[in-house]
């Protein structure tokens, strides 16, 4: 997850960009240091965090839940950081290492670790090492390196980073990451009017651009090919109206006011396995009860009612081949 230290200008953007410390790679190669194997790896995720949700999305969408374990941390991150608190709503125990806090796993893998404690974490139960804690890396590993273990042939065939579209996907990822994924935080945690105005203008300029683009294409990279760019955008937009519009002042327009962005959000939400990875309770309670610097009393707003992600989106017929 992101670090939310207050700062201004470019310094603020840098401080709220995820900085991760573990960058090894699982490969579909038996000779690799970390070969893809069933029942060897474990994911630690938060249902609140849009970055951790990249990994959780792919785990479910690719049908890998039976071969890669998962533990969901508590939605309230306290002074000791992310906690395993079984017995709370959709919150798990650490069944692999028996720890109470995610911090303890970092320190177990690297004694004296002083970096940030972030989710997601891809953990190797065989070597007892963190393989990777960068959401974009884990997304791509789950996309391609565990295909031998996907539950169905259809899930095995899914490729959200196809070779022919990688240049386009990379370009869109850069735009979406800076203006949207991180951009909402730059709005919410701005300390000056100038910083807020700059961030919110950039955010909605890109949303306007995407609204126009998605009027001509079902998915971002073109045609009917879902890619990781769609996933990265979705995980922010699905939180926008219920949370960012109010708490982060991203309220120039709602997502539901954009016909194509709203339909695209519902389109992705309704893909097999995705709905279970989006938890409104975790999202709303985490942000509004943890970030007291912008919500001092920790009051959880009621949010828009209803917010129907399962209503018909029509993009499958609109862009039928």
Active site residue 150: no
pLDDT at 7 over 80: no
- How far is the first Cα of the chain from the last one, in angstroms, to the nearest whole number? 38
- For residues 204 and 252, the answer to whether their CB atoms sit within 8 Å is yes
Q: What is the pTM of this model?
A: 0.94
In the chain, the percentage of residues whose pLDDT exceeds 70 is 94
Residues 278-300 have pLDDT tens digits of 999 999 999 999 999 999 999 99
What pLDDT, in 10s, does the model give residues 33-88? 999 999 999 999 999 999 999 999 999 999 999 999 999 999 999 999 999 999 99
Distance, in Å, from the CA atom of 247 to the CA atom of 252, rounded to the nearest integer, reads 13
Is 187 an annotated catalytic residue?
A: no
In three-state secondary structure terms, 209 is helix
Concatenating the DSSP letter of every residue in 147-174 gives GGG-SSHHHHH--SS-GGGHHHHHHHHH
Would the pLDDT of 123 be above 60?
yes
Of 160, 217, 161, 210, nearest to 183 by C-alpha is 210
Active-site hit among 41, 49, 75, 101 = 49
Burial class (CB in 10 A: 0-12, 13-18, 19+), 266: buried
pLDDT, tens digit, for every residue of 252-285?
999 999 999 999 999 999 999 999 999 999 999 9
Catalytic option among 185, 219, 244, 287: 185
């Amino acid at each position: 997850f992101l670090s939310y230290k207050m700062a201004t200008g470019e310094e603020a953007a840098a401080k709220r960009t995820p900085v991760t410390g573990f960058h090894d790679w699982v490969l579909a190669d038996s000779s690799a240091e970390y070969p893809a194997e069933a029942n060897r790896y474990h994911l630690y995720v938060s249902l609140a965090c849009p970055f951790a949700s990249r990994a959780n999305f792919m785990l479910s969408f690719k049908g890998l839940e039976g071969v890669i374990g998962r533990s969901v941390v508590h939605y309230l991150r306290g002074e000791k950081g992310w906690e395993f608190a079984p017995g709370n709503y959709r919150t798990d125990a650490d069944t692999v290492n028996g720890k109470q806090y995610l911090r303890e796993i970092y320190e177990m893998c690297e004694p004296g670790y002083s970096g940030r404690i972030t989710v997601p974490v891809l953990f190797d139960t065989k070597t007892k090492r963190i393989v990777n804690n960068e959401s974009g890396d884990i997304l791509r590993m789950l996309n391609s390196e565990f295909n031998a273990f996907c539950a169905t042939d259809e899930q095995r065939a899914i490729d959200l980073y196809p070779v022919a579209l990688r240049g386009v996907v990379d370009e869109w990822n850069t735009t979406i990451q800076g203006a949207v994924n991180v951009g909402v935080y730059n709005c919410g945690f701005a300390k000056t009017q100038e910083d807020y105005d700059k961030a919110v203008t950039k955010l909605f300029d890109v949303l306007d651009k995407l609204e126009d683009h998605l009027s001509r294409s079902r998915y971002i990279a073109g045609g009917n090919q879902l890619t990781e760019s769609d996933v990265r955008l979705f995980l922010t937009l699905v939180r926008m109206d219920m949370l960012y519009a109010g708490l982060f002042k991203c309220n120039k327009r709602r997502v539901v006011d954009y016909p194509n962005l709203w339909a695209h959000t519902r389109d992705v939400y309704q893909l097999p396995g995705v709905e279970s990875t989006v938890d409104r309770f975790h999202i709303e309670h985490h942000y509004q009860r943890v970030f007291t610097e912008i919500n001092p009393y920790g009051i959880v707003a009621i949010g828009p009612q209803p917010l129907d992600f399962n209503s018909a989106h029509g993009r499958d017929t609109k862009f039928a081949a």
